[in-house]
Amino acid sequence: MSTTDIIIILASGLFAGIVNSIAGGGSLLTLPVLIFLGLPPSIANGTNRLSILFGNLSAISGYRSKGIFVFPYGLWLGISATVGAILGAKISIDIKGELFNHILAVVMVLVAINIVFNPFKKFVSEHENMTRKNQWIGILSFFFVGIYGGFIQAGVGFIIIAVLTAVNGFDLVKTNSIKVLVVFIYTVAAFSLFVIEGRVDWKYGFILATGNILGSWIGSRWSVGKGDKIIKPILLVMVVVMAVKLWFFK
């Protein structure tokens, strides 16, 4: 591993941590970077989870320091997502590398479309809704969110934001505080499966995690006052460029 590689990994982890805390989609950057640096897709996917684990733990701490914490609803969502994530991670481990790259590229393009047009906006509730019915809808929905998160992770933040705003009507800050808790919970299970299968490069993972921890702490505190208006245009450009490169990556 060269010094340039270390700088690239640290920088991508830092930016991804900020992105994950504010809007979601950090893995749309870090996962392709790991693949471009030479890791096989399944190992890149597993390695990326180590960074996600530490980054979300840091973000949880950041939101707690600002008094933003939704409990126990966030815990129930995390448990539901964990069941799905175990299934999704198993699928990811077994899939062929080239197919995974193409799926990731398509996902990145779809996320870019979501950033531009925000098709879920019309489904957003204007008022917070925590009735028993809506809580159960949320818990069931997060099982499927977990399947996707366990499989590819990239862009799962946007799916979580869409579900929580549509089902429960949470604002962006509260939604993000739940998101980082849920992702942390199910990532523990998904990452464990990748470790068991030997699909983690620990050196890359810890370097990426170092940047992600700092970025997540900065982003979780910044998002309380700034929102996601600044970060989304930057993320959009980077996602489109990486998606094109990833599709033709050999």
Query: Tens digits of per-residue pLDDT, 46-84?
Result: 999 998 888 888 888 878 877 777 889 999 999 999 999
Among 245, 66, 26, CA closest to 155: 26
Long-range contacts: 239-245, Cβ < 8 Å, 24+?
239/25, 239/28, 239/29, 239/108, 239/109, 239/111, 239/112, 239/115, 240/108, 240/109, 240/112, 242/28, 242/29, 242/32, 242/33, 242/108, 243/105, 243/106, 243/108, 243/109, 243/112, 244/105, 245/32, 245/36
Give 54's contacts (C-beta < 8 A, 6+ positions apart).
Answer: 209, 212, 213
Least confident piece of the model among 14-23, 42-51, 212-221, 225-234: 225-234
Q: What pLDDT does residue 120 have? A: 60
Of residues 98 and 240, more confidence is placed in 98
CA dihedral for 23, 148, 213, 243, sign (positive or negative): negative
CA distance 175 to 177: 5
Number of other residues whose CB lies within 10 A of the CB of residue 190? 31
Q: What pLDDT does residue 109 have? A: 82
Least confident piece of the model among 8-17, 97-106, 133-142, 237-246: 237-246
95-154 tens-digit pLDDT = 888 888 888 888 888 877 776 676 666 556 667 888 999 999 999 999 999 999 999 888
* Whether the Cβ atoms of residue 18 and residue 30 lie closer than 8 Å to each other: no
* Whether the Cβ atoms of residue 165 and residue 118 lie closer than 8 Å to each other: no
pLDDT for 245 beyond 90: no
**Helices 172-196, 41-65: crossing angle, 10 deg rounding:** 140
